[in-house]
Structure 1
Amino acid sequence: MIRWYRQTRHGKAYVPAMIWGTLQTEAYATVILGQVVGFLGVPDDVPAGVAKRMERQQVLYDGEHRYDVILGEQALYTNVGGPEVMGEQMERLLRDIELPSLKLGVLPATAEMSVVPMPGFSIFDGGRAHYELVSSGVDITDPAELTLHHKVFDAISDAASYGGGARELISKALAFWSGDK
């Protein structure tokens, strides 16, 4: 995955129900990867996996990459690790939303959509869309399919909130996780 992120100069990701891996805090990533290990019964390599996920995040700071990321509003409320982990994660999103390498949007739960909602996916340079599944991933490389993925991403982007609207949704989630409901 790190190689894909380093090779991609402009990537896109739609993640409806959790925080995009490249924006996850260490605590959030630890919980997510621990759940994967427990559910699949695979060897416990969580610390190594978290370290790799943190390494992958360097693409946000090197000035050579650009990512358009849309989180579903549900991603701000899917309870990963409890209020402390989630609060820290919301603070991270509010900080990183200002990065020049990142265009971060939030798709409000009540947004009117011009397309049927999709599972989350990423689009990488070099002609590939990627879906993460329960235990593996699927890559789409057919040019006609990639064109459709870009079209779907644009439609989701049109319905998403950016800038102040995204900050407002994330701040509302932070207040929720801080107990200031």
Structure 2
Amino acid sequence: MTAFHTDDPQPKPFRVADRLREAREAAGQQQKALAALLAWDPAKLSKTESGTRTAITEADVRAWADATGMSDEDRDETLEILAHFKVNEKSWRDRMRHGRRSVQLQYNELYRKSVRFRIFQTVWVPGILQTPGYARQVFTDLNELDPDTPRDVEADIRTRMARRDHLYDSNKSFEVILTEAVIRTLLVEPPTMLAQLVRLEDLLDLPNVRLGIIPQGRRVRTAPQSSFVMYDDLAIVEGFVIDNPYQGAQAERFAALMERFWADAVEGPEARQLLRQAITDLPK
């Protein structure tokens, strides 16, 4: 199976942000009070804690540690995490320098090498199930969130569509669970959504594809939070601009989640009915 390293996805400073926030809370300080103590704009402090500010420096961490009374050990661990983030950030920028196609190619390789796929999606139709029109809007949205990345949407679409052939490989199995929000939320124009919903209904007939939908308005056992894909025993949690890999015991938790979600999902005729109703309810 293709190696997927932890420094491959777009890095994020959330682990640093979490540690800084926890230090402030442990010190019993409010954000405004700490901002004043650091002589920071409150917005800067808020963005630092939320992980949306990526330009965190070693001096920032040291000043925060002094102001909140962090132990030397916690401060040094946070600085180590920050250093790792900075390395990963450069790696991600290098990979994205020529656009998203390189990332799509890496995922295509995962699809080629893997045999069992377990896919859970709360927002978007999974990439391997997308129509070209739906994928075009997804890539357009991602580019708006990451304006520094070179844009070649049509090349991105062609690369993503290349993986669809794996759906017809009888040696591979696909277990896909969608929340009903995926087939109801109009991320694309109604005609494009119509083609996408028809495509999903067609996939119900493939023998190696198990497609389930968690209906809205029903009691569920487990909250459907982050979307994820399992490539054999590798789990990758998907976000708007960040994908994070998990292996070993952590990946096993996602496998267990998938089984719980199947208990809440409908399949076969019931799933087909939900798709057809979503088609009927599309704006004319």
Task: Quickly name the TM-score band, shorter chain normalised.
Answer: over 0.9
- The structural deviation recorded for 1:8 is 1.3
- The structural deviation recorded for 1:80 is 2.2
Counterpart check, 1:5 vs 2:135: no
Partner in structure 2 of residue 153 of structure 1 = 258
Q: 1:67-104 deviations in whole A, cap 9, x for unaligned?
A: 00001100001212211000111111111111112101
Partner in structure 2 of residue 62 of structure 1 = 169
Partner in structure 2 of residue 175 of structure 1 = 280
List runs of 5+ in structure 1 lacking aligned partners.
Answer: none
Partner in structure 2 of residue 40 of structure 1 = 146
- The structural deviation recorded for 1:135 is 2.2
Comparing 164-173 and 31-40, the one that deviates more: 31-40
Q: 1:12-47 deviations in whole A, cap 9, x for unaligned?
A: 010012111111101000111111112211211211
Contact 1:115 1:156 in 2 (8 A): yes
Query: Which amino acid is 1:45 matched to?
Result: D
SS in 1 for 2:229: strand
Partner in structure 1 of residue 210 of structure 2 = 103
Partner in structure 2 of residue 162 of structure 1 = 267
Contact 1:108 1:161 in 2 (8 A): yes
Q: Which whole-Å CA distance do the structure 2 matches of 1:160 and 1:178 have between them? A: 26
Number of equivalenced pairs: 177
Residue in structure 1 matching 2:129, options 23, 37, 49: 23
Contact 2:226 2:239 in 1 (8 A): no
The structure where strand makes up a greater share of residues is 1
Contact 2:145 2:241 in 1 (8 A): no
- The structural deviation recorded for 1:134 is 2.8
Query: Which amino acid is 1:108 matched to?
Result: P
Comparing 98-107 and 108-117, the one that deviates more: 108-117
Q: Which whole-Å CA distance do the structure 1 matches of 2:240 and 2:108 have between them? A: 20
- Output the aligned Cα RMSD: 1.3
Q: 1:92-147 deviations in whole A, cap 9, x for unaligned?
A: 1111111112101111112322223221111111x210012232310001x22222
Q: Which whole-Å CA distance do the structure 2 matches of 1:83 and 1:133 have between them? A: 24
Written as runs of structure 1 = structure 2, the 5 A alignment for 1:110-149 is 110-125=217-232, 127-141=233-247, 143-149=248-254
For normalisation by structure 1, the TM-score amounts to 0.93
Partner in structure 2 of residue 75 of structure 1 = 182
List runs of 5+ in structure 2 lacking aligned partners.
Answer: 1-106
Aligned structure 1 segments of 4 or more residues deviating by more than 4 angstroms: none
> Identity of aligned pairs, percent?
25
For normalisation by structure 2, the TM-score amounts to 0.60
SS in 2 for 1:84: helix
SS in 2 for 1:81: coil
Comparing 128-137 and 161-170, the one that deviates more: 128-137
Larger Rg computed on CA atoms = 2
Could you say which structure has the greater relative contact order, defined with CA pairs below 8 angstroms and 6 or more residues apart?
A: 1
Contact 2:183 2:278 in 1 (8 A): yes
Q: Which whole-Å CA distance do the structure 2 matches of 1:93 and 1:167 have between them? A: 9
